[in-house]
Amino acid sequence: MAEESERGQDRLDPLVRSAFREAVVVSLIWLSAMVWSVGVSWWLGYGRSEQELRLVLGFPEWVFWGIVVPWVSCAGISWLFAVWFVRDGELGEDLEDADDLGLGG
């Protein structure tokens, strides 16, 4: 069973493998962004009174640390991810003239 699985991995198209790995990393980035953004916003921005308002560059403190900073960070991470992590690959040619029906037709 394990051997069969290894053989399957050997045959697997490299683009499928890299796309899956990238999808997993992207999902982790999404999860981290959510924990940071919602967590910090809840910690600094919920259930407060007017007297507790603190501004950072004109933003309420929770907006600056919970939204602006992670948003700018995510733009940077997206650039790094696209430039350094994502692998280019051959998508392949279309199977047939699309005016005809495909394999399921």
Partner 1 sequence: MWQAWKTGLLLGQQSGDVPQVGSGAMLMLVLFIVGSLWIGVLANRAASTGGFMKGFFLGNRGLGVWALALTATIQSGGTFMGFPSLVYSHGWIVALWIGSYMVVPITGFGILGKRLAQLSRRTGAITVPDMFRVRFGSPTLGLMSTLFILFYLSFLMFAQFKAGAIVLQLAWPGGGDLALSEDVAGISEWRYHVGLLVFATTVVAYTLAGGFLAAVWTDLFQSVLMFAGVLLLLVACLSAVGGLEQATLRSLANTGPGFVFGPGYSADGSGQQFLPISLAISFFVVWIWGGVGAPAGLVRLMASQNTNVIRKSIYVLSIYNLGIYLPLIVICVCGRALLPNLAKSDEIVPRLALLTTADWPGGSLVAGLILAAPFGAVMSTVSSYLVVLSSGVVRDIYQRLLRPQAPREELRLAAWVTMILSGLISVAVMWSPPEYLQVFIVFSTSGAAATFLVPAVMACYWRRATPAGVGAGMVSGAGVVLFLYLCGIMGWSPAQSIGAAGGFRPWFLLGLEPLIWGLLASSSSAVLVSLLTVPLPAEHISRLFDRRTSAEGEAV
Q: Which residues contact 67 (CB under 8 A, 6 or more apart)?
A: 37, 41
Question: 4-33: which residues touch partner 1 (CB under 8 A)?
Answer: 8, 11-16, 18-20, 22-23, 25-27, 29-30, 33
Q: Which residue has the tokens 């279309």?
A: 94
Dihedral in degrees, nearest 10, Cα atoms 30, 31, 34, 39: -150
The answer to whether the CB of 44 falls within 8 A of the CB of 68 is no
The answer to whether 94 contacts partner 1 (rule: CB under 8 A) is: yes
Residues at the contact surface with partner 1, assessed by CB under 8 A: 8, 11-16, 18-20, 22-23, 25-27, 29-30, 33-34, 37-38, 41-42, 45-50, 53, 55, 57-60, 62-63, 66-68, 70-72, 74-75, 77-79, 81-83, 86-89, 91-99, 101-105
